[in-house]
Amino acid sequence: MKMIARLMMTALIGLMLAACESAPVRDPAYAPARPVVPPAPPQNTGTIYQQGHAMAWFENLRARRVGDMLTVKLMEKTKASKKASSSANKSSNVNMTNPLLLGSALQFNAPGLIPLASNVGNSLAFNTNSQQSLKGEGDAAQSNALSGDITVTVTEVLPNGYLVVRGEKRIGINQGNEYVRLSGIVRPYDIDATNSVLSTKLADPTIVYVGDGPVADASVVGWLSRFFISAIFPF
């Protein structure tokens, strides 16, 4: 029994130590693309210039091929608000007098078993009143901002010349990691002379900013708390 207890304690300590470490987790969906390697040109001997060894003195350094790098300047800022209110009121009143029969008001007596206010000299007159009121209000607001730079790679060149880019930036801070993931479609005309483009110029953009580690885990609501604040909780 002591040996089993020691093994369980050792395994527990190992799990605790493993939980304390937070290694970066690479998302394969944002892995950089490798450039396409063209076949080696045939070597011609006996001339001054050799194919495959030329150097361009004047060349456009903007990204245009698969594997080229492109810097995206994050300039994201969104703000949204929504407010709604509704109100409804309804009331009704029904009043009926006691009918007359041959000039006399109808009256009846009831036995004591019927729960009436009076068992003698009752009439058919009645009066009902009802009133309903409904009032609802809703208010929602959201604001987000993200700035910085991230360098991505070209993964595909579309038939119209547009570039499909994607990339991931990983930053380790203390015991956690921060990830910035980006993908989208870039128009070559929007790339400036520094081989940079604004994130607001991307088509079909996907920008993800997440983190892991003890700090990120502490800000996550537990499964039991999520149940009590979810829509399936009946109270």
Q: Residue 68: pLDDT above 50?
A: yes
> Given this model, what pLDDT does residue 196 score?
94
Helices vs strands, H then E, count in the chain: 3, 8
Q: Is the dihedral of CA 195, 198, 199, 204 positive or negative?
A: negative
Quick one: tokens of 62?
Answer: 């903007």
Over the stretch 79-96, which tens digit does the pLDDT of each residue have? 888 888 888 888 888 777
Which segment, 6-20, 38-52, 64-78, 109-123, is predicted with the most confidence on average?
64-78
CA dihedral (74, 75, 76, 77) in degrees, to 10, reads: 150
Quick one: tokens of 71?
Answer: 């810097």
pTM, rounded to two decimals = 0.55
Q: Residue 25: pLDDT above 50?
A: yes
Name beta bridge partners: 96.
126
> Given this model, what pLDDT does residue 128 score?
79
Q: Residue 55: pLDDT above 60?
A: no
Greater confidence, 154 or 60?
Answer: 154
Burial 23-55 (b: 16+ CB within 10 A, else e): eeeeeeebeebeeeeeeeeeeeeeeeeeeeeee
